[in-house]
Structures are given as C-alpha cells and as structure tokens.
Amino acid sequence: MDLRSAELTKYAANAFLATKISFMNEMANLAELFAADIEMVRKGIGADPRIGYDFIYPGCGYGGACFPKDVRALKSSASEVGYEPAILHAVESVNESQKLKLGSNILDCYGGDLRGRVFALWGLAFKANTGDMREAPSRTLLEDLWQAGARVRAFDPEAMPECLRLYGERSDLELVDSKEEALTGADALVVVTDWQSFKAPDFDSIRRTLKDACVFDGRNLYDPQVMRRYGLRYYSIGRLPV
C-alpha cells in the first residue's frame, strides 16, 4: 500500500466506526419518537450478517482520543482540497448532540430545576477499561448538571484521578470509593460508562438508597422490565421510560 492510501485508510477506519455509533444514536432518537425499542432494532439489524453487531450499541455519545480527533482531521483535510464531507459533518454533529442526551433527560424529569439535587454518577471514563476522559460524555454531563445547580457524587474504577486533574476540588463534586457509596444521599443514579462492575448491581439496594428511586442509563445496561419489577423509574437511550 502506498503512503497516501495507508494514511487515508487509518482515518477512514476510525471515521467509519464513529459513523456507525452516530447512526445508531440517530436511530435511538427516532425510536423514542416512534415508540419503538432501539434494543430490539439493534438485535434485528445486527442479525443481518452484512451489518453485524460491532459498534451498533446506542448510548450517550463517543469520546476518547481517536474517534473525535480522526473525524475532525479528515474533515479538515477534505476542506483543504475543496471537498465538504457531508457525512462526517453529520457524524460529529449527532455525537455532540448525543452527549447532551443524559442531561436533557434529567432536566425533563425534574422539570428543569436541579437546584439542591444530588446525582450519583457511575462512570467518568469515555469507555470501560481505561482512565481516559478525553472528550468523554461524562464531562458534558458534569458541566450541564453543575450549571443547573446540581451536585454530583461520582465513582469510576480508573478515571477519578483524571477527573480531579481536570476539575480540581469543587464543592459540587465528590469522588467516592465505590459505586455503592456514590448512591448515599443521591436523588438519582446516572450510568455513564459501561464498566463490567456496573452491569449487575443490587437493584434492591439502589431502590432503598436513592431518594427518588430513579435511574438514568446512558449505556442501556439494564432491562426495563427488571427495573419496573424493582420499583425503579428508568430512563435509557432509545426506549420509552418505565
């Protein structure tokens, strides 16, 4: 492979994966409007071998070092040669909007007023198994919650030192030692990162500890019917609230 083709291949690969994520998030937003379940849609289209299941999980947006940087770099390089890459513009636009999704759901649930509210945050890293918070959806959410007057009790297995480096000591942010401790004194739980340790929690304990027994799931980790059985109000991505 020649050098030009190799360089474009690298950028094209990451841009294509980012495109799959943004496409699924777009479908998730439509699913809510159409009263459909994006998880059913995901399983349906993923069963087609031409599509498969990789990178078709809806959520609260992608982050990290590679996808945002490479999409922007490819957009910039395209503009330099006089080409406007419409799909790449849309991928980035959808992702930036999707990062606002959790905060919007929370504001809607509480009538736009979060003053005096406390939220338990499970996850700060842009994905599991890393401490990286570069362009993480958690950063958009944290800043939205703080701007609305809320306080946050956050836990992440790896990313809390990075969160402290980014934001320093704040009266509206408390970094705690466990996911259970994050729930103490909180009105609601917000799941931002799909860490394995978050996937099978003690739902009884969550319901007893939270003041409002309310969960906002930015990664669709839980079954809505299970949440209903445990008496938890549940807001996810691309599925109607229960």
Active site residues: 66
Contacts of 84 (CB under 8 A, 6+ apart): 78
Instruction: Give, for 79, the enclosing helix (H) or strand (E).
Output: helix 66-80
Other C-beta atoms closer than 10 Å to the C-beta of 158 total 17
Q: Cα–Cα distances in Å, from 39 out to 120, 174, 223?
A: 25, 33, 10
Structure tokens belonging to residue 148: 């609305």
CA 84 to chain centre: 28
Distance CA 177, CA 156 (A): 8
